[in-house]
Structure 1
Amino acid sequence: MRIATEVLVEKYKDHLFAAAFNVCKNAADADDVVQDTFLQYHTTNRQFENEQHIRAWLIRVAINKAKNINLSFWRQKGVPLEEYMETLTFETPEAQILFTEIMKLPEKYRIVIHLFYYEDYTIREIAKIMNVTESNVKVRLTRGRRLLRNVLKEEWENDR
């Protein structure tokens, strides 16, 4: 199965941007990752089982490309997360606090939390995307939630 690249771009560009930004924490790099991901899809001859398979493949490629950017020399020239945060708008102050704390998590927890809560992937799908076991995904989700719970609990207790 193949779907036209233009259709996929319209449908998944925001999802890929969010996943890439989650890894590289830089809007310009995330934009590059999205473009590179769709370019790779456009030039591949691979056939996919269904649209879900295409979506999972796109997210996996985007995450891998974002990780590669983190290892590059040019990565050090990016805009700090704090500067980018000033350009974002959130529906509630709590949403901003949650986003800020998620972005502070170690990458392995941050990615699974993003895929599970923001992209609505199942544990099995995340395991396939990240090429880890389902047990590993569950452990990362549990540990990431625990870290968030501890930090947010302190944050909300200090607000009282």
Structure 2
Amino acid sequence: MEHLESQELCEEDGLSDLVQRYADLVLRLALTYLRNMPDAQDACQNVYIKLFKQRKEFHDTEHERAWIIRVTINTCKDMMRNRWRRRLSAIDEAVLILPIEDNESREVVSYVLALPKKYRVVIHLYYYENYKTSEIAELLDRKESTVRSQLKRAKELLRARMLGGMDG
């Protein structure tokens, strides 16, 4: 019995380490998708529950990180399909709280969050998580050329909105 309890504690510690290691990544990605803190926090909790239930074995840290990102994306997509979420999204967007200290960074992130979802996600994974376009394509199950086009279009939109915001 004592051996079983110590094994469970080790598994819980490993899970706790995993949660702590990816907490920021999961929250940032969920916030990028859902655009409000309460839903992003709910998504994080759902990701951790899936992680706890599945107790997945990973080949290496890159496999682990990719799995966490994929589960986070799928969790966010599921939440966005919810009819209640669609009805409240306009209200929730007005309540957006960005957990960023620096005003300039907050402004840039607010421009990123204002982009359509397909652009927000590629920008986030490319600039904030440092993935290559080929890796983003694999994570999102898209063609690499599509990811490159979306990244290019997202940069153009950001540039236009940021420069437009400075002029007006």
Alignment of 1:3-152 (within 5 A): 4-44=14-54, 46-75=56-85, 76-77=87-88, 80-85=92-97, 88-92=99-103, 94-152=104-162
- The answer on whether the counterparts of 2:36 and 2:95 sit within 8 Å (CA) in structure 1 is no
Task: Quote how far apart the aligned CAs of 1:45 are.
Answer: 5.2
Note closer, same or farther for the CA distance 1:39–1:29 as it changes in structure 2 (3 Å cut). same
Q: Percent identity?
A: 31
What is the alpha-carbon distance in structure 2 between the residues aligned to residue 147 and residue 77 of structure 1? 26
- The answer on whether the counterparts of 1:33 and 1:65 sit within 8 Å (CA) in structure 2 is yes
Task: Quote how far apart the aligned CAs of 1:74 are.
Answer: 2.9
**CA deviation digits over 1:33-90, x for unaligned, max 9?**
11211221222254322111111111111111111111113313465223223x6443
- Gaps of at least 5 residues in structure 2 are 1-10
Query: How big is the alpha-carbon RMSD for the aligned residues of Structure 1 and Structure 2?
Result: 2.1
**CA deviation digits over 1:99-127, x for unaligned, max 9?**
11111111000001011111111212211
Bigger relative CO (Cα 8 Å, ≥ 6 apart):
1
What is the alpha-carbon distance in structure 1 between the residues aligned to residue 113 and residue 136 of structure 2? 19
Letter of the 2:76 counterpart: A
Q: Pick the structure with greater CA Rg.
A: 2
Task: Quote how far apart the aligned CAs of 1:11 are.
Answer: 0.8
- Count residues with an aligned counterpart: 155
- Gaps of at least 5 residues in structure 1 are none
